[in-house]
Structure 1
Amino acid sequence: MTKTIWIAVANRATARIFTADSPLGALDEIETLIHPAGRAPEQSLVTDKPGRTYDRAGTGRHADSDTAQHDHEAAVFAAEIAACLAKGRETDRFGTLIVAAPPAFLGELRKHLDAQTQNLVTLELDKDLAHLGARELRAYLPERLVRHEA
């Protein structure tokens, strides 16, 4: 297993993957994933109004929208990120994974990570750090990055 550490920072629209060769080392950005629909306004994501339903009893009528389109887009992007991370794990490009994302998106991302990739996660941060550069991100992380014990 490789000793390389990957740091994945993401939000609904952007995911960036950084690498560090040592627990005290600097970060290098190796990949960026963009999901423009994550920033799009709700009305541009749907082409029609939601369907209307009637209450079983009474005369109530309301829009039928169980899942917001933004939630769907977040799930699609989280699955894309998880697939990218799984591929990196399968090709032995990293042995430790650190993940940072806003709380709701971090939860969505967890749902899509396979068990083997999830087992390599040594640190999760529930913050949106996707806008930070490598130097700023490194300053935000612990001085010594914890490696996964094989």
Structure 2
Amino acid sequence: MSKTMWFVVADGAQARIFANEAEKGGLTLVTHLRNDKARLPGAKLGRDKPTRVQESANPSRSAAEPHVDPKEKEKLRFAHQLGAHIEEAAKKSRFDSFVLVAPARTAREIRGTLGSASRDRLLGIVNKDLSWVGDADMGEHVKGFGRRLQRPRVFAHLFPGQPVPE
């Protein structure tokens, strides 16, 4: 049976999932998920002006900022969609383990949405933004991640010749 490791490379608005199989080597793109709304300016997602509230002490009105910025709300929605996608794939055994590569805040939001099936397969999180790296060059960027992971021996099996801590 083939051991498949996924690399989930994400930011707040897009995610690419790469697969690495032990026998084949190299990365192949599995899927590319996008949320175009998260890339729009906040003014295009919600109201331009904040709502007005009237205070009880006097007749004047003051502006009330929303609790969550519309752009942040879209990023949270995308994190939930990505977490659900990873969880569903874990339940269908489409991968054996995965590494989440995302900026710290995004990684924290995605990790919070993972279910038990996918959390058990999470090797580690690399807090790095690699959303700008092309698909063909991604393999070179993820080779050195073995030292940062919780279970580096699994990583060493997929990338032979890489240094593994004891």
| TM-score, normalised relative to structure 2 | 0.77
Q: Name 1:82's counterpart in structure 2.
A: 83
Give 1:142 deviation, angstroms. 3.3
Q: Report which stretch shifted further, 80-89 or 134-143.
A: 134-143
Structure exhibiting the larger radius of gyration computed from Cα positions: 2
Give the distance between the partners of 2:23 and 2:55, measured in 1 at CA.
58
Distance 1:38 1:144, change over 3 A: closer
Where relative contact order (Cα < 8 A, 6+ residues apart) is larger, the structure is 1
Give the distance between the partners of 1:121 and 1:23, measured in 2 at CA.
21
Contact kept, 8 Å, 2:52 with 2:63, in 1: the verdict is yes
Q: Name 2:120's counterpart in structure 1.
A: 119
Give 1:77 deviation, angstroms. 0.4
Contact kept, 8 Å, 1:2 with 1:93, in 2: the verdict is no
Aligned length, in residue pairs? 148
Distance 1:95 1:78, change over 3 A: same
Give the distance between the partners of 1:115 and 1:23, measured in 2 at CA.
28
Q: Name 1:71's counterpart in structure 2.
A: 72
Contact kept, 8 Å, 2:52 with 2:61, in 1: the verdict is no
State the SS of the aligned residue for 2:22.
Answer: coil
1:23-42 aligned at under 5 Å gives the runs: 25-42=25-42
Q: Name 2:17's counterpart in structure 1.
A: 17
Give the distance between the partners of 1:23 and 1:52, measured in 2 at CA.
61
Q: What is the aligned-residue identity percentage?
A: 26
Q: Name 2:111's counterpart in structure 1.
A: 110
Q: Name 1:61's counterpart in structure 2.
A: 62
Q: Name 2:134's counterpart in structure 1.
A: 133
- Looking at secondary structure, tell me which structure has more helix per residue: 2
Give 1:52 deviation, angstroms. 2.0
Q: Name 1:43's counterpart in structure 2.
A: 43
Give the distance between the partners of 1:115 and 1:50, measured in 2 at CA.
39
* Gapped regions of structure 1 (runs ≥ 5): none
State the SS of the aligned residue for 1:33.
Answer: strand
Give 1:108 deviation, angstroms. 1.1
Contact kept, 8 Å, 2:19 with 2:30, in 1: the verdict is yes
| TM-score, normalised relative to structure 1 | 0.85
Distance 1:46 1:95, change over 3 A: same
What value does the CA root-mean-square deviation take over the aligned residues? Answer: 2.6
